Amino acid sequence: MTAPIWSQLLALNRPLVMGIVNVTPDSFADGGRHLSREAALAHARNLVAAGADLLDVGGESTRPFSEPVPLEEELRRVIPVIEAIRTELDVPLSIDTYKAEVARQALKAGAQIINDISALRFDPDMAPLAAATGAPVILMHMKGTPRDMQADPRYDDLLGEIKAFLKERRDFALAQGIAPDAIVLDPGIGFGKTFAHNLQILNHLDTFLDLGCPLLVGPSRKAFIGHYLGGLPPDDRDYGTLAAVAVAVHKGAKILRVHNVAAASQFLTLLRIIQTA
Ligand code: HH2
C-alpha cells in the first residue's frame, strides 16, 4: 500500500526534506549530472545517506522558457531510475510530472506520490489516476506554462490569487475523489513570479495554512537567490537556499524540496534541537 507510507511521513512532527533527482540533460541547477540510470541511482543513494525523507524523480526540466519533452523520452529517462531506486532503497518516491501516463508507469515502477506542477490541469487523466490509485498529489501554483511563465508575470493581488488558485485546485481534487489527507499544496516558487514575488510568498507563506493541507516549498538554487546575492551561479546558491528554507519552515512549510539534502537536513535537525531544548 502506498498511502500509509505517506501518512506516516506526514504524521511526523517535523519538516521533511525532499531530495531532487533530476534525470534530465538540461535542468537549471544539475542538468546532465544524473542522466544515466547508474548516476541517478548513486545520486539517490547519496541523498538518502544525507538525510532525505523522500525523493522527487523528474525527467523534464520545467525551468523558465523550457520546451516540453515527448512522452516516450520522459518515460525512458525516469522509469528505469525509479525501478533501480525502488530495488535498492526504502525511501518514499514522488514522480515530478504533469503527464498521467508517466505518473501511471512511475507508480507501477514503485513511486508512491505524484508531484504535478500543473496541479492536475495539463492532463485530464491525472486526477482520475490519483483518485483510483490513492496516490498523494502535490498541487503547485504556476501562472502560465514553463515556456511563457517568466515573460512578464503580473498580479493584482499576488497572495490572494495564489491562494484562490490553490483552494480551487484542492476542491477540484476532492471532487475528483482524491482524499483530503492525500493533498499537498505548493505556491510554486519561480513559476510565473518575479524575484520580489518569491520573497513575498516566502515571507507570507502562513497565508496558505488555513487551506488545511501540508505546504511544500521549492526555493532550491532558484534564480532569485542568485539575483539577491550578486549574481551567484546555481551551484553556489546552497547557503542562500538555507535562508529561504528557514523562513519557509518558520512560516509553516512541511516539505522542503532541495538539491543539497545534507545542508537542509543538517540545518533543520539543529534548528529542531535548539527549539526543543
Ligand atoms: N520546482 C522545480 C521542479 N519541480 N515541483 C514542485 N512541487 N515545486 C517546485 O518548486 C518545483 C517542482 C524546478 O526545479 P528543478 O527540478 O531543480 O529544475 P528543472 O525544472 O530545471 O529540472
Parallel/antiparallel/unpaired status of strands 16-22 and 54-58: parallel
Instruction: For Cα atoms 15, 168, 67, give the angle at the middle one, nearest 5 degrees.
Output: 80
Mean pLDDT over residues 104-111, rounded?
98
Sign of the alpha-carbon dihedral angle for 174, 177, 180, 184: negative
Task: Please tell me whether residue 84 adopts helix, strand or coil conformation.
Answer: helix
How is residue 55 written as a grid cell?
Answer: 525523493
Give 58's DSSP letter: E
pLDDT for 67:
87
Q: State pLDDT tens for residues 195-228.
A: 999 999 999 999 999 999 999 999 999 999 999 9
Give domain limits for the chain: 3-276
C-alpha span between 202 and 196 (Å, rounded): 10
For the beta carbon of residue 214, count every other beta carbon within 10 angstroms.
Answer: 21
Contact 166, 185 (CB under 8 A): yes
C-alpha span between 277 and 140 (Å, rounded): 35
pLDDT for 7:
66
Report CA(210)–ligand 1 centroid distance (Å): 24
Domain 3-276 fold is TIM Barrel (3.20.20)
Q: Is the pLDDT at 131 greater than 80, yes or no? A: yes
Q: Is the pLDDT at 123 greater than 70, yes or no? A: yes
Name the active-site residue from 222, 237, 251, 254.
222
Q: Give the residues surrounding ligand 1 with Cβ less than 6 Å away.
A: 20, 22, 24, 27-29, 58, 61-63, 96, 115, 117, 138, 140, 186, 188-189, 216, 218, 257
Contact 86, 109 (CB under 8 A): yes
**Does residue 63 carry a catalytic annotation?**
no
Report CA(274)–ligand 1 centroid distance (Å): 30
Q: State pLDDT tens for residues 94-103.
A: 999 999 999 9
The whole-model pTM stands at 0.96
Nearest protein Cα to ligand 1, atom 10: 218
Helix (H) or strand (E) holding 248: helix 238-250
Report CA(259)–ligand 1 centroid distance (Å): 10
Mean pLDDT over residues 53-70, rounded?
93
pLDDT category, 3, cuts 50, 70, 90?
Answer: very low
